[in-house]
Amino acid sequence: MPRTERLTPEDAWVLQREKAVAWLRCVFALVAVAVIQINPDRIEHFPTLSVYSMGSFLLYSLVNAELTRRGKLGSPVIGFLTTSLDVVWIGLIVFSTGGSQTPFFFYYSFPVITASVRWGLKGSIPVALVGVAIYGVIRLTLAAEGKDTPIGIDTILIRSLYLLLLAGIFGYISEFEKRQNQKLLALSKTAAQAAAMQERRRIMFELHDGILQSLATMILRLEGCRGRLSKTQTELAEEIESAENLTRASMKEIRQFLAGKDTPIASGTLIDKLREEARFLQEGLGLDVILESEPESLTLPAIIERETYYILREALTNVTRHSHASRVEIRLEQTNGTLRGSLTDDGVGFNQNNINNETGLGLTGMRERINKIGGELFIESAPGCGTKVSFVVPPAASADLPS
């Protein structure tokens, strides 16, 4: 299914910058063609090369603008490649339209501007030096062949200084703008965190006066019921005590969430906790649960262990609520640092075409958790054919996370 990715503010700014550069390139290309139409004498030395260089530059500019509009371009590698092509093409245009006497010397400013926008001074200055070098080579080459009247060295120096000064100004402005954008993004993030904390406090008071008090009352009533049981009803007393402990654990998780803390699970206990879930489903609901792990003891960073547990627990919850399954298989495998997991049931399944219309938080929460640890989540299902939820966490993701 196609998915629309939401751009971060920084990515959106980069995309807008690349669109502006692409359309500016189109303007340069169109102006060059128009100038030659007005004054054809400019291409009398190398007419074929002039037509080819300008025509291909215009075509390249239009294609680049369209791809940028669609969001297909924008990586650092593509930026380096397009800047290099700009320098080469403009060198050809300058060479074929009069060499050092060309009216298109100003075109060297275009790759200088684009390099400054992308990389600041460390991009604009090298590109300006390359432009100056190419311009000097063209002047010496055409003068040696007698096809161009050499202009004075003072003019060469002035034009070179102009290009380097332009590179310095635009490079400095670009770096200043990037620093300001970073400050604004940092302030925006801080404001968002403050707003989230304020909202968390509001929810905390509402939950404290509602759900948490209800859970506390439930614990007291369960304790009262357990106290009135006879000694022969040991099994029922243990079940009630288990419900008390689960309620206490739920209250603790809610409080930790409201305090902005991750809910920890003891390191190395992922399989044990999944076995507890499986035992409850088997004894309480009669569900046949198979749990397999390879190796039997997994070595995972704490955050991956925690998120994996909650992903599988959410998947088990969906099974008990919606699937009407009789059998569930949970498999975990860790090979060369890569963690693979899956949960398969034999329930009623669902139509995946309606997956984007889901209104609950289950699948959304699972996706957010797997994205948090740098993994990928896959869902396979069809009406009457059960459901399989699987995920992969590569070694690179594990290496970047705290152990």
Q: Which of 1-5, 191-195, 309-313 has the highest mean pLDDT?
A: 309-313
Residues 76 and 176 in one domain: yes
The confidence score (pLDDT) of residue 2 equals: 40
Instruction: Please state the three-class secondary structure of 146-175 as a single string.
Output: CCCCCCCHHHHHHHHHHHHHHHHHHHHHHH
pTM equals 0.43
Q: Decide if 73 is inside a domain.
A: yes
Number of domains in the chain: 3
CATH of the domain at 393: 3.30.565.10
Token pair recorded at residue 84:
């290099």
**Nearest one of 298, 370, 373, 356 to 331, comparing CA atoms:** 298
Residues 61 and 174 in one domain: yes
Residues 166 and 235 in one domain: no
Residues 134 and 221 in one domain: no
Residues 123 and 241 in one domain: no
Q: For 230-289, write each residue's pLDDT tens digit.
A: 766 777 777 777 778 778 877 777 777 666 565 556 777 888 889 988 887 887 678 899
For residue 117, what are the contacts with CB-CB under 8 A and spacing of at least 6? 17, 21, 170, 174
Give the domain-ending residue among 258, 285, 320.
Answer: 258
Q: For 119-138, write each residue's pLDDT tens digit.
A: 888 888 888 888 888 877 77
User: Domain span at residue 251?
Assistant: 210-258
Q: How confident is the model at residue 389 (pLDDT cuts 50, 70, 90)?
A: very high
